Amino acid sequence: MDNNINTQHLMTHALEGAHKSAEVLKKYWGKVEDIRHKSAIGDLVTEADKESEKVILEYIKNQFPTHEILSEESGLTSTANAAEFLWVIDPLDGTTNYTHQFPFVAVSVGLLYQGSPLLGVVYNPITNELFQAVKGQGAQLNGHPIHVSRTESLQDSLIATGFGYDRRANADNNYAEFLHIYQRCQGIRRAGAAALDLAFVAAGRLDAYWERGIKEWDIAAGIIIVQEAGGRVTNYESNPVNLSEGRILASNGIIHDEISRELMVVRAAREAGLK
């Protein structure tokens, strides 16, 4: 990494932007009125998503006019050919949870430098938990260092996953993977906010997380937080994670290859027409 990059300055503004979005999420908590469907049932957008995005985009653009921004409800649509610095933002991860006042929601702010994650902030303003990390500087929860779990096997693991909004229309919808992994671990949680699933892996509360159909803004911040907490993040095949591939596997590192192998078993069965 370029030693001239002032990561402290960048993080200060990432935190400030996240706090501005958090104020919006607190303001509309329990009061959303305008709930619209996007691609499918459950794919929602509310006035909280939009206003949260507006305030953080305005703030980041003001501070860093030469940087680019990719965000869920507006902005760029791809990380390909982006500027040196690309902010990847989900102004509200867990919109369905938010509309039900299920307090597993976050604003997720990631910054890529030359295409790879440089820093990340995942902030749940309802529980007041703020996860953050800068490349090479470790990960923290509310200012305290965090580390991934030491769980050694899949059968002793608590794992998270999620299901894309195309699950009714697409046979590759993670149902087969869910059943297969569920038979082999202690439990699976589907709490509904990918950025927080990753943050929980980083904090050692979950041993792993996988999902398909996931978008850049859901994972950009969480990836660096897991990595800086000592974990591993790849695609399903254990190859380096590619933000736009849509498949992610994050873990404490120890159980990583075991889960990857099981995901490959399911894929082979699907390709052979068995699942």
Q: Does 222 bind ligand IPD (CB under 6 A)?
A: no
Q: Does 95 bind ligand IPD (CB under 6 A)?
A: yes
252: region left, alpha or beta (phi > 0 left; psi from -120 to 50 alpha)? alpha
Of 56 and 154, CB closest to Ca ion: 56
Of 207 and 218, CB closest to ligand IPD: 218
Give the separation between CA 210 and CA 236, rounded to whole angstroms. 8
Residues 175-204 that bind ligand IPD (CB under 6 A): 192-194
Nearest of 5, 30, 177 to residue 102 by alpha carbon = 30
Of 70 and 154, CB closest to Ca ion: 70
**DSSP conformation letters of 49-64:** HHHHHHHHHHHHHHH-
Helical packing angle, 7-28 and 47-63, nearest 10°: 160
**Dihedrals φ, ψ of 32, to 5°?**
-70, 140
Q: Does 90 bind Ca ion (CB under 5 A)?
A: yes
Q: How far is the CB of 273 from ligand IPD (least distance, A)?
A: 26
Q: Does 53 bind Ca ion (CB under 5 A)?
A: no
Q: Does 24 bind ligand IPD (CB under 6 A)?
A: no
Of 110 and 164, CB closest to ligand IPD: 164
Partner touching 207 among ligand IPD, Ca ion, none, CB below 5 to 8 Å by kind: none
Find all residues with CB under 8 Å of 214, minimum gap 6, and list them.
162, 164, 194, 246, 247, 248
From candidates 51, 72, 177, 262, binder to Ca ion by CB under 5 A: 72
Give the separation between CA 121 and CA 108, rounded to whole angstroms. 6
Using the CB atoms, write b or e for 227-256: b if 16+ within 10 Å.
bbbbbbbbbbebeebebeebbbbbbbbbbb
From candidates 17, 110, 117, 162, binder to ligand IPD by CB under 6 A: 162
From candidates 93, 216, 228, 262, binder to ligand IPD by CB under 6 A: 93
Partner touching 216 among Ca ion, ligand IPD, none, CB below 5 to 8 Å by kind: none
Residue whose CB is nearest to ligand IPD in the complex, by number:
162
